[in-house]
């Protein structure tokens, strides 16, 4: 006695999908407007240049803009990656592991996946 309601539900579902595909009152999407005139064209010189070097199992990524080194990411073979960042542009690098150098947040590894 349960088969007729289930069969009716399947047929109703198929009929609804067939009706949905035959709609003729669809409107085309509007054309994409041009970008604003004050938007600067893409300048490849502003993109950072990344140099990746392997040294004794460690990976060192050097990030430069206009040839000036501003950030280094060091990924040790056995350990947690850390960043050396030149915040003032004077060549003095500070080490960071979480991102904010003003806040000292305890960092414990609870688990890795």
Domain boundaries, the chain: 46-96
Fold of 46-96: 2.20.130
d(CA 70, CA 90): 9
User: Which of 81, 48, 87, 82 has its CA nearest to residue 64?
Assistant: 48
Give the residue with greater pLDDT, 15 vs 80: 80
pLDDT in tens, 30-56: 999 887 877 777 777 678 899 999 988
Q: List the structure tokens of 110.
A: 């609870």
> In sequence order, which residues have a C-beta less than 8 Å from that of residue 80 and are 6 or more positions away?
97, 109
pLDDT tops 70 at residue 67: yes
Sequence-distant contacts of 6-15: CB under 8 A, at least 24 apart: none
pLDDT tops 70 at residue 10: yes
On whether the pTM is more than 0.75, the answer is: no
């Amino acid at each position: 006695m349960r088969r007729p309601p289930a069969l009716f539900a399947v047929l109703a579902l198929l009929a609804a999908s067939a009706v949905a595909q035959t709609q003729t009152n669809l409107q085309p999407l509007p054309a994409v407007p041009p970008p604003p005139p004050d938007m600067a064209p893409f300048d490849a010189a502003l993109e950072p240049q990344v140099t990746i070097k392997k040294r004794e199992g460690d990976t060192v990524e050097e990030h430069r803009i206009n040839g000036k080194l501003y950030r280094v990411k060091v990924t040790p073979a056995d350990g947690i990656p850390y960043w050396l960042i030149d915040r003032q542009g004077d060549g003095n690098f500070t080490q960071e592991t979480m991102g904010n150098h003003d806040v000292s947040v305890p960092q414990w590894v609870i688990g890795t996946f």
